[in-house]
């Protein structure tokens, strides 16, 4: 295995693992803010109890997410120094703003919020968790500003043999960003919401504090359904945008080797032969691809072979076709997972509104399993987006093979890959153990008295020590 493959595997593995925690942090912060808002507005202790319970899981997730995220930026200097040198003046400011503004804001107000129960006024304390939630959203915005530049480079010019920023406003108004950011944001809300519904369902199955978890379920399933529908809607608009600006990615997502007939059919299943550049077998839905691409029942879609010929004329000799199988199947995995989330969200909201949850144990068990689906959709969507851009690290500007560090050997990359993977596996075990411990904790299964709530600390010493470690 050469350096490029190893560097890509390492970045993909660390990013996929880190991305388990990022949407959970964004989603849970928002939901806890909603629960505490209900407590302040309605004055019911049950909402405060719920906010305190979910805060433990949020803080564990946040702590592990911070640790796993540190390696992400280090890799730009270690494994991708040519990339960092070439586009660092454009890419770097967004990451710096994310770290110095958004992350510091999150960290500061998390501290105030955790230790401010009964020390700050209700409204000031509520403002703290909303600022935390806004901070997580701003972190996502600035990271996606940098990532959107990689997909659709804007606001730069070539100077001294590298790209330098010429228009910061163009970066933050990038059309790619304003489709990618809301798509990612609502996916994060859905991730936190399905996690909350799943844990609440598990608690309701066992009769643990049904009043609190019934309310948690109702709040979270509402957010889950709205977010899932918005993710699908914005994802549709994003696909149409990519059809015009990254047609190779969308052709690979359809395993469309040659320009389609008019109207274009949508491929449900295909046996893809990348060597012969054809599909030996496929199942298609007539008119559907034209409808998805142009919102009408007519129109052809350009194929990979034709785009390849056009790119060779524009960019020079080379293979511009990405991993077709990976792009094709990850796209369908994302769509299927998202569709199930919408369907289950409708049923969950219906059962919750009609107070039928406990009478549907099969559905509560289903909701526990649905915890995994947003993570599956997030990972599949990220793979489709990044793998479909290949062979470019910055589309049309820099190829991935030219972006790696020239002095890092394959042996060094392999060692760091094994080391980091081992560390991440340990972190995953710690995270899972802490989550299970908090969810099963007997003290949380009964409603505490109001006086006890005043003295309640969301992190007891044992758990604080475990998270710190």
For residue 266, what is the enclosing H or E element? Answer: strand 266-273
Which of helix, strand or coil describes residue 433? Answer: helix
Residues 136-149 pLDDT 10s: 999 999 999 999 99
Residue 428 pLDDT: 87
Lowest-pLDDT range, 94-108, 166-180, 191-205, 452-466? 452-466
For residue 69, what is the enclosing H or E element? Answer: helix 45-78
Residue 444 pLDDT: 43
Look over the chain and give the mean of its residue pLDDT values, rounded to a whole number: 89
**Phi-psi region at 390: left, alpha or beta (left = phi > 0; alpha = psi -120 to 50):** beta
Nearest to 398 by CA among 62, 151, 28, 197: 151
Indicate the pairing of strand 266-273 with strand 156-159: unpaired
Q: Is the pLDDT of residue 179 over 80?
A: yes
Residue 446 pLDDT: 46
Q: In this structure, are residues 362 and 201 in contact, taking their beta carbons and an 8 Å threshold?
A: no
Q: In this structure, are residues 348 and 224 in contact, taking their beta carbons and an 8 Å threshold?
A: yes
Positive or negative, the CA dihedral 262, 263, 266, 269 is negative
Rounded mean pLDDT, 129-142: 94
Reported as a pLDDT band with limits 50, 70 and 90, residue 75 is: confident
Reported as a pLDDT band with limits 50, 70 and 90, residue 106 is: confident
> What is the percent of the chain with per-residue pLDDT over 70, rounded to a whole number?
94
DSSP codes joined into one string, 268-333: EEEEEETTTTEEEEEEEETTHHHHHHHSSS------HHHHHHHHHHHH-SS-----HHHHHHHHHH
Residues 390-401 pLDDT 10s: 999 999 999 999
**Beta strands, E only, 114-265:** 156-159, 162-165
Q: In this structure, are residues 303 and 251 in contact, taking their beta carbons and an 8 Å threshold?
A: yes
Whole-number Å distance between alpha carbons of 46 and 24: 23
Do you know the residue count of the chain? 469
Residue 462 pLDDT: 54
Whole-number Å distance between alpha carbons of 92 and 156: 13
Residues 419-467 pLDDT 10s: 988 988 888 898 889 998 888 874 444 444 444 444 444 445 454 455 4
């Amino acid at each position: 295995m050469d350096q490029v493959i190893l560097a890509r595997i390492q970045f993909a593995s660390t990013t996929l693992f880190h991305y388990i925690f990022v949407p959970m942090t964004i989603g849970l912060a928002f939901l806890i803010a909603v629960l505490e808002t209900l407590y302040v507005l309605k004055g019911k202790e049950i909402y405060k109890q719920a906010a305190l319970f979910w805060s433990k899981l949020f803080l564990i997730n946040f702590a592990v997410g911070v640790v796993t995220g540190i390696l992400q930026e280090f890799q730009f200097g270690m494994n991708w120094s040519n990339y960092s040198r070439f586009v660092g003046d454009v890419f770097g400011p967004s990451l710096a703003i994310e770290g110095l503004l958004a992350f510091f804001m999150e960290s500061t107000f998390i501290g105030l919020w955790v230790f401010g129960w009964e020390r700050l006024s209700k409204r000031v304390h509520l403002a703290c968790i909303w600022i935390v939630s806004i901070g997580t959203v701003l972190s996502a915005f600035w990271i996606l500003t940098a990532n959107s530049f990689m997909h659709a480079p804007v606001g730069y010019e070539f100077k001294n043999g590298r790209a330098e920023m010429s228009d910061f406003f163009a970066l933050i108004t990038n059309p790619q960003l304003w489709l990618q950011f809301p798509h990612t944001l609502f996916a994060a809300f859905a991730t936190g919401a399905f996690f909350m519904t799943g844990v609440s369902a598990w608690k309701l199955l066992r009769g643990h504090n049904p009043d609190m978890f019934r309310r948690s379920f109702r709040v979270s399933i509402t957010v889950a359904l709205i977010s899932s529908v918005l993710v699908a809607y914005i994802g549709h608009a994003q696909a149409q945008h990519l059809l015009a600006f990254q047609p190779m990615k969308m052709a690979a997502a359809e395993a469309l080797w040659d320009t389609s007939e008019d109207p274009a059919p949508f491929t449900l299943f295909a046996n893809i032969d990348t060597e012969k550049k054809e599909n030996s077998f496929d199942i298609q839905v007539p008119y559907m691809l034209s409808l998805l691409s142009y919102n009408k029942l007519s129109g052809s879609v350009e194929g990979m072979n034709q785009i390849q010929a056009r790119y060779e004329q524009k960019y020079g000799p080379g293979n511009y076709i990405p991993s077709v199988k990976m792009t094709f199947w990850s796209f369908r995995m994302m769509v299927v997972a998202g569709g199930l989330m919408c369907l289950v969200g409708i049923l969950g909201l219906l059962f919750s509104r009609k107070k039928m949850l406990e009478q549907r144990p099969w559905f509560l068990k289903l909701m526990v399993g649905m915890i995994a689906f947003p993570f599956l959709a997030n990972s599949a969507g990220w793979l489709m987006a990044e793998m479909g851009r290949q062979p470019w690290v910055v589309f049309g500007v820099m190829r991935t093979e030219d972006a790696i560090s020239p002095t890092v050997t394959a042996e060094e990359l392999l060692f760091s890959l094994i080391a980091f993977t081992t560390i991440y596996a340990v972190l995953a075990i710690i995270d899972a153990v802490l989550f299970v411990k908090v969810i099963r904790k007997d003290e949380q299964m009964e409603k505490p008295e109001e006086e006890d709530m005043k003295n309640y600390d969301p992190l007891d010493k044992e758990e604080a020590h475990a998270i710190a470690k």
